[in-house]
Structure 1
Amino acid sequence: MSGSTMNPADIAASVLVLGIIVVSLLSNVVVLICFLYNPEIRRQVPGLFILNLTFCNLLLSVSNMPLTLFGLITAGHPGGGTVCQIVGFLDTFLTTNSMLSMAALSIDRWVAVVFPLSYHSRIRHRDAVIALGYTWIHSLCFSTVATCRSWVGFHHLYASCTLWSVRAKGADTQFVVFTVALHSLTFLLTLIVLCLTYLKVLKVARFHCKRIDVITMQTLVLLVDIHPSVRQKCLDEQKRRRQRATKKISTFIGTFVVCFTPYVITRIVELFTPGPISPHWGVLSKCLAYSKAASDPFVYSLLRHQYKKTCSVLANKVLKRSPLNSSSLRTETNTARSNNNTTAAATANSIQPPGDGQPPSDKPLEP
């Protein structure tokens, strides 16, 4: 990683970090705009956890990632010692906070699926604020201890300002205990919570799908004259429903494992292995951890119907298409013409009941 000329691996790593920065900034900013624009999203309890996760990802994208990119380009120490200590503090705090936010989101989804009728009484905004308070206290404790003990600095293995120790006598054992405790109470704890909650959610979802499948099959048996193609479409839809549930749960758990596991394992191996670790692998594991900040908006927010609809409305406003306004204008014109025709008919026949125009649309928004 040293030298005045960048090798191909460093160039590829720099391009990767730059791409992660761009995607993370754009996607998380879009999530933040959707949260501020749509009051329905703000009223939902999961929106608080997503907001906290978005805040962590944005701050990580503007503080830690640029310094890692600078360290890769210059192959040296990015900035002064004080700046690196602050960024190292943020690295521990933001990573821990984002992991715990994912655990809180999984618990919220577990309660919503397992206890749907009592969800609003079990999970309220006050409970969400208390959970977020714990994530902040938990994260601040570890990051503050690491900073006060001077266990943060520029680590050449990861080309970033993060947890680091000179392995001085008397402090080595303490740093090992601290690092193991940090990853056990953040990464391992979050992974256990994600697996327990989402696998339970998947089990309940499959149970409901099975009940729906039984009812559908009974209906198909009764409809003896149903066309075979219609029957096959119903069976295919049942299969797609089960696959969607499995795919969502696999995405939640899989992205967490793929992005954070290499970095955490490298951290643990580094503590107990006297031999050197390839700096290219160290940078790659750090890039994978950074990529979680870029994937979170798509995993938890932007692929949901509410966010996609909000993004569509905002895009139409930015592009000045205003389809809603034009459609509203056409609706008002048609309504006025309908009212005029209704009034004329009522005058002629004197038997037209009032309010016989088009009924208002009461169709609720899709969740």
Structure 2
Amino acid sequence: MLHAAADIAASVLVAGIIAVSLLSNVVVLICFLYNPQIRRQVPGLFILNLTFCNLLLSVSNMPLTLAGIITTDHPGGAGGGGLCQMVGFLDTFLTTNSMLSMAALSIDRWVAVVFPLSYHSRIRHRDAVLALGYTWMHSLCFSAAATCASWVGYHHLYASCTLCSARASSSATRTQYVVFTVALHSLTFLLTLVVLCVTYLKVLQVARFHCRRIDVITMQTLVLLVDIHPSVRQKCLDQQRRRRQRATKKISTFIGTFVVCFTPYVITRIVELFFSGTISPHWGVLTKCLAYSKAASDPFVYSLLRHQYRATCSQLANKVLKRSPLHSASRRLENGTAKRDTNPAATTNATITNATITIPTTTNAATTIPTTTDPTKPAITNPNITTHTITDHPPSNESPVQ
């Protein structure tokens, strides 16, 4: 009874992963095809390759794993037939390709943050195509070698067609299989993990440096504006705190999802090589489901939560619902006005977002300090003051994390 309940839970989990993965990756693909700005960006090629791998994994490997869990038998035919051989080849190829695509994305963002002025000369579309060519050749070599050596078949531990240690029968073949498996995971999972940690931690270091610069300007401004309203001062301090946390959360998401999804599966694979005991099939299926879940989370981690993709999705939704963007903007404006009318504190909080605050410097340029939102009141000018704008985000050319 307990085993039946575990099988049902695993089946529901795999079915949910398939649905989310298909829907989210299709949305990313539609955004890529609809928005020409996304297509012109170099990271768009890496995201497109990652989306392609996730979609193919969702329609080939995941359904057979679901069938294996439901029927408790291999769906590829006796002895790991042609269908299971092909799906096992795709399992190794797509998983390796997706990992290397994540490494390429992290390198791209590292170059964009550390070398912002020379990014376009360092990373071009030609370089991205060469990097993708390497990921395909790397993945193709490992998957083709495993298939040619007949190490691909139905694995009961994972209820899927993948690398199977049972097909390495003789002692010499077993040794070769162990060396191949260790090399595969070292040059894919471990290599990608090292690249992710090195590049994203460097990005986080640069992001914190920029946050400290902005914090200095903010604190100097708050010290100078002694008559500032307490709610406005608190708003500035809250923005300062959120700015410090934003980059850390994004970097933790990039590295954390990779570690959580792939580490249990890879460790189980390595333990299986040197452990003579029996590993629970439910644990094997769970680790495989975690690896599959990366295909469902990648669209959100790398694409759909970014402003550019969200704006494209909003445009597509307006187009499908036959609503004009101007109508949607006016509706949002009306809703925001109604909220401000009912909540006076919202007006104060909204004002600080676009408020222009000044710091005395030695410049002679005359600048304007708007101290109120009332256009009928005159602005204050001072020839010895330069203007600094405090917003929720750092300047676009200093944004550490895209």
**Interval of TM-score (by shorter of Structure 1 and Structure 2):** 0.7 to 0.9
Q: What is the alpha-carbon distance in structure 2 between the residues aligned to residue 68 and residue 202 of structure 1? A: 38
**What's the counterpart of residue 346 of structure 1?**
none
* CA drift at 1:88: 0.2
The 8 Å contact of residues 152 and 164 in structure 2, kept in 1 or not, is answered as: yes
**1:243 aligned to 219, 242, 245, which one?**
245
Partner of 1:232: 234
1:233 Cα deviation from its structure 2 partner: 1.3
Alignment of 1:249-328 (within 5 A): 249-324=251-326
CA deviation profile, 1:6-63 (whole Å, cap 9, x unmatched): 7110010000000000000000000000000000000000000000000000000000
Q: Distance in 2 between matches of 1:68 and 1:263?
A: 15
Contact 2:76–2:154 under 8 Å retained in 1: no
Does the 8 A contact of 2:35 with 2:312 survive in 1?
yes
Amino acid at match of 1:241: R
In terms of mean alpha carbon deviation, does 74-83 or 137-146 score higher?
A: 74-83
Tell me the TM-score normalised to structure 1 length. Answer: 0.87
Structure 1 residue 315: Cα displacement:
1.1
1:349 alignment counterpart: none
How much does 1:288 deviate?
A: 0.1
Following the alignment from structure 1 to structure 2, what is the Cα–Cα distance between the partners of residues 294 and 59? 12
Range 112-121 or range 317-326, more displaced: 317-326
User: What amino acid maps onto 2:4 in structure 1?
Assistant: N
Alpha-carbon offset, residue 132 of structure 1? 0.4
Match of 1:223 among 222, 225, 245: 225
Identify the residue that residue 145 of structure 1 maps to in structure 2.
145
Matches for 1:95-174 after TM superposition, within 5 Å? 95-166=95-166, 167-169=168-170, 170-174=172-176
Q: Secondary structure at the match of 1:17?
A: helix
**Equivalent of 2:52 in 51, 55, 63:** 55
- Residue 175 (structure 1) aligns with: 177
Task: Return the letter of the residue paired with 2:241.
Answer: K
Against the structure 1 CA distance between its residues 286 and 327, is the aligned structure 2 distance closer, same or farther, given a 3 Å change threshold? closer
User: What code does the residue aligned with 2:150 have?
Assistant: S
Separation in structure 2 between the aligned mates of residue 142 and residue 174 of structure 1, nearest angstrom: 13
Q: Could you say which residue in structure 2 is the equivalent of 1:9? A: 6
Are residues 327 and 266 of structure 1, via their aligned partners in 2, closer, same or farther at CA, if it must alter by over 3 Å? closer
The match for 1:31 among 28, 36, 46 is: 28
1:325 deviates by 7.9
- In 2, the alpha carbon distance for the partners of 1:233 and 1:315 equals 33
Gaps of 5+ in 2: 331-395
Instruction: Letter of the 2:101 partner, please give it.
Output: S
**CA contact 2:208–2:244 (8 Å) conserved in 1:** yes
Q: AA paired with 2:48?
A: L
What stretches of structure 1 move > 4 A for 4+ residues in a row?
Answer: 324-328
SS in 2 for 1:171: helix
- Code of the aligned partner of 1:189: L
Change in Cα spacing, 1:207 to 1:88, as seen in structure 2 (3 Å) is same
Identity of aligned residues (%): 85
**What is the CA distance between 1:327 and its match in structure 2?**
8.2
Unaligned runs of 5+ residues in structure 1 are 329-363
Greater RCO, 1 or 2 (C-alpha within 8 Å, sep 6+): 1
Counterparts of 1:224 and 1:233, CA distance in 2: 15
Which deviates more, 14-23 or 74-83? 74-83
Tell me, in whole angstroms, the C-alpha distance in 2 between the residues paired with 1:64 and 1:204.
40
- 1:91 corresponds to: 91
| Residue aligning to 2:61 | 64
User: Matched residues in 1 for 2:315 and 2:328: separation?
Assistant: 13
Query: Structure 2 CA distance, aligned partners of 1:156 and 1:232?
Result: 58
Question: Structure 2: how far apart are the matches of 1:324 and 1:69?
Answer: 45
SS of 1:77's equivalent in the other structure is: coil
**RMSD between superposed Cα atoms in Å:** 1.9
Aligned to 2:76, the other structure's residue is in SS state: coil
In structure 2, distance between residues paired with 1:317 and 1:122: 37
